[in-house]
Amino acid sequence: MNKKEMICIVCPMGCRLTLQEDVNEEKGYKVSGNQCHRGIEYGIMEQVNPTRALTSTVKIKDSSLNRLPVRTDHPIPKAMLFECMKLLNHIEIQAPIKMGDIVVENVLNTGANIIASRSMA
């Protein structure tokens, strides 16, 4: 890898980052174009282990709506998003449920839980 460019998505500023391998840097990469230190963390993380928060829905029984919005409580590896979506397709929970309740604990051994994004009676 010589240079890689990416947009930092940590905040709405959307800085244009340039990532370059550099053996003199502690983590092996030099990041430029960032306006704050979070851009450095994001750029390196995006290179070595990209993660994303997942939002989706699951089926819910005995509620006014058929599906409950859910999300991960921590980002999970980007490579596991599709597998996680497939898993959620097969899940059906029972109403009532409160916002923040755990729907799937430690989903796919990622350390993240799938939690309810809203309450449903």
Segment contacting ligand SF4 (CB under 6 A): 4-12, 55-63, 80-88, 106-114?
4-12
Quick one: CA torsion of 72, 73, 79, 85, rounded to 10 degrees? -10
CA proximity to 88, closest of 80, 100, 97, 96? 80
Residue 8 lies near ligand SF4 (rule: CB under 6 A)? yes
Q: Interface with ligand SF4 by CB under 6 A: which range of 33-41, 65-73, 78-86, 91-99?
A: 33-41
Could you say whether residue 79 binds ligand SF4 (CB under 6 A)? no
48 binds ligand SF4 (CB under 6 A): no
* Burial call 73-100: b when 16+ CB within 10 Å, e when fewer: eebbeeebbeebeebbeebebeeebeee
Residue 5 near ligand SF4 by CB under 6 A: no
Residue 14: left (phi > 0), alpha (psi -120 to 50), or beta? left
Q: Which position among 3, 5, 21, 35 is part of the footprint of ligand SF4 (CB under 6 A)? A: 35
Q: Which of 11, 48, 65, 99 binds ligand SF4 (CB under 6 A)?
A: 11
**Which residues would be at the binding site for ligand SF4 (CB under 6 A)?**
8, 10-11, 13-15, 34-36, 38-39, 42
